[in-house]
């Protein structure tokens, strides 16, 4: 019996290049949180480079856990894991509230360790939520993932620094447009392997085109060391403060919610639907990776939604490809010079490629919604309201400005709020009271009309 494409082992060269393509797609997302938090603390350039390398290293280890797996840990799907951006706001808040800034990272690391361990224990219970994710919910959430990521691509297209004079300049937008055009042309007029690595080739060609415009900076390569290891507890032993632990536990809940949605999305794309067992194993990998990450000076880890778009576009579903990407991440953590090569890619070039990647995620969500019986008025309302709720943080970033900071961790995540709205609306319209009696369409994994009750069914008459 032939292996499922998820378990396929590709030739070495193809494995390496497609794995590197995954790293290129998520690199900016991994290095942004340590750069932001490190800057808030006031780390030296050397320590900032060390912290960034540590996050790359731990992202690689977490990716190994997720893709290759051990025991009941790891979804064994083509998932890239890295530093979750949901933790940036609470981590900077912890920094701001810490008088001695040298204690900030140890306090953050202690909170992440506790949140990771608690999340690991909660994974078998949390995964039960899969029964509340029929196509009308998963399609909405997948679409929201893509829509939520697109502003990131648009920001990259304008340039790396919003305060710079050339931010949003014609040159930056032109480089993004050219990169997008190159990717589209490669996808349209090439075949086979070249077509599959169109994004990677687009990034390379776009970077070369950017050189005459002065948008490519090779300084990181010149300044980077050849070898560097993320020494355990480089910034001090973990410290455990209740307020910091609570804030990171909230982030963990948000992260687990998004990871569940991501696993459901990826399961649909690779045609290996994620069941409760898969989700529980995936959440264990996320949470264990997060708990171990501070040992090597890394932050909380989570699945990276942007790489789902790459899987959807290239149709390369092998988890070993992503594991190869994890290997590159570990290498970058051990060799700062290797990490700096990816940093050379100008942000506008990444933005051009990101439009394709993130748009592909939204398109996959629309494909799922096609199977969600949208001829039913109830399902149309579920999708309409859930999308509206999920888009609020994107279109009106200050909408929840009057809410407490803890609540905003959840509310400012369009994926989380849209997901919660879709689940609740699906329950109200399709599974409670009159909605259960009126619904006739099948919306696996919970069938419409199946009421939420523990009352046993009466035995059939003999």
Q: Classify residue 446: in a domain, yes or no.
A: no
Q: 458 falls in which pLDDT band (50, 70, 90)?
A: very low
pLDDT, tens digit (0-9, with 9 covering 90-100), for 119-130: 999 999 888 876
Chain-centre distance of CA 43, in angstroms?
Answer: 26
Percentage of the chain with pLDDT > 90?
A: 21
Q: Classify residue 452: in a domain, yes or no.
A: no
Q: 170 falls in which pLDDT band (50, 70, 90)?
A: very high
Under 8 Å CB-to-CB from 360, ≥6 apart: which residues? 146, 309, 310, 312, 313
Q: What are phi and psi of 73, to 5 degrees?
A: -115, 125
Is residue 92 within 8 A of residue 344, CB to CB? The reply is: no
Is residue 138 within 8 A of residue 261, CB to CB? The reply is: yes
Q: Classify residue 316: in a domain, yes or no.
A: yes
Q: Classify residue 58: in a domain, yes or no.
A: yes
- Torsion angle of the four alpha carbons 310, 314, 315, 318, in this order, in degrees rounded to the nearest 10: -70
pLDDT, tens digit (0-9, with 9 covering 90-100), for 441-456: 444 444 444 444 444 4
Please report the sign of the dihedral spanned by the C-alpha atoms of residue 94, residue 256, residue 298, residue 39.
Answer: negative
Residue 451, helix vs strand vs coil:
coil
Q: What is the pTM of this model?
A: 0.67
Q: Classify residue 193: in a domain, yes or no.
A: yes
Number of structural domains (the chain) is: 1
Tokens 């390569």 belong to residue:
221
Residue 21, helix vs strand vs coil:
helix
pLDDT, tens digit (0-9, with 9 covering 90-100), for 297-348: 999 988 877 678 778 877 888 899 999 999 989 988 888 776 666 667 788 9
Residue ranges making up the domain that contains 86: 5-435
If residue 301 lies in a helix (H) or strand (E), which one and from where to where? Answer: strand 301-303
Q: Classify residue 332: in a domain, yes or no.
A: yes
Model pLDDT, residue 184? 93
> What is the residue-averaged pLDDT of the chain?
81
Q: Classify residue 427: in a domain, yes or no.
A: yes
Q: Classify residue 20: in a domain, yes or no.
A: yes
Tokens 């960034």 belong to residue:
52
Has residue 435 got a pLDDT over 60? no
């Amino acid at each position: 019996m032939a292996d499922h494409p998820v378990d396929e082992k590709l030739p070495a060269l193809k494995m390496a290049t497609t794995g590197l393509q995954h790293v290129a797609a998520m690199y900016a997302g991994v290095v942004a949180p340590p750069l932001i938090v490190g800057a808030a603390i006031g780390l030296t350039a050397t320590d900032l480079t060390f912290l960034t390398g540590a996050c790359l290293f731990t992202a690689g280890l977490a990716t190994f856990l997720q893709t290759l797996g051990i025991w009941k840990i790891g979804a064994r799907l083509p998932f890239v894991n890295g530093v979750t951006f949901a933790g940036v706001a609470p981590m900077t808040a912890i920094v701001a509230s810490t008088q001695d800034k040298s204690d900030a990272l140890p306090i953050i690391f202690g909170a992440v360790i506790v949140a990771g361990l608690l999340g690991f224990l909660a994974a078998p219970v949390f995964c039960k939520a899969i029964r509340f994710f029929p196509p009308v919910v998963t399609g909405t959430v997948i679409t929201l993932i893509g829509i939520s990521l697109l502003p990131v691509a648009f920001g990259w297209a304008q340039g790396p620094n919003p305060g710079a004079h050339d931010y949003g300049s014609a040159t930056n937008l032109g480089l993004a447009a050219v990169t997008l055009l190159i990717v589209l042309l490669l996808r349209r007029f090439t075949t086979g392997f070249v077509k599959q690595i169109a994004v990677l080739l687009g990034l390379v060609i776009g970077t070369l085109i950017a050189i005459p415009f002065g948008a490519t900076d090779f300084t990181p390569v010149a300044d980077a060391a050849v070898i560097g290891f993320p020494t355990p507890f480089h910034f001090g032993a973990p410290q455990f403060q209740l307020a910091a632990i609570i804030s990171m536990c909230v982030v963990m809940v948000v992260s687990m919610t998004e990871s569940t949605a991501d696993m459901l999305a990826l399961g649909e794309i690779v045609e290996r639907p994620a069941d409760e067992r898969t989700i529980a194993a995936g959440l264990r990998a996320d949470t264990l990776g997060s708990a171990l990450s501070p040992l090597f000076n890394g932050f909380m880890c989570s699945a990276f939604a942007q790489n789902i778009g790459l899987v959807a576009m290239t149709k390369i579903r092998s988890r070993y490809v992503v594991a190869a990407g994890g290997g590159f991440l570990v290498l970058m953590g051990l060799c700062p010079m290797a990490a700096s090569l990816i940093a050379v890619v100008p942000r506008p070039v990444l933005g051009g490629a990101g439009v394709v990647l993130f748009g592909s995620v939204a398109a996959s969500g629309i494909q799922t919604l096609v199977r969600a019986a949208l001829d039913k008025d109830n399902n149309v309302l579920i999708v309409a309201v859930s999308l509206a709720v999920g888009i609020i943080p994107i279109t009106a970033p200050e909408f929840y400005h009057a809410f407490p900071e803890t609540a905003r961790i959840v509310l400012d995540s369009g994926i989380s709020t849209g997901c919660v709205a879709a689940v609740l609306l699906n329950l109200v319209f399709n599974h409670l009271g009159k909605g259960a009696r009126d619904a006739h369409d099948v919306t696996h994994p919970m069938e419409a009309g199946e009421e939420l009750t523990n009352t046993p069914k009466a035995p059939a008459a003999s």
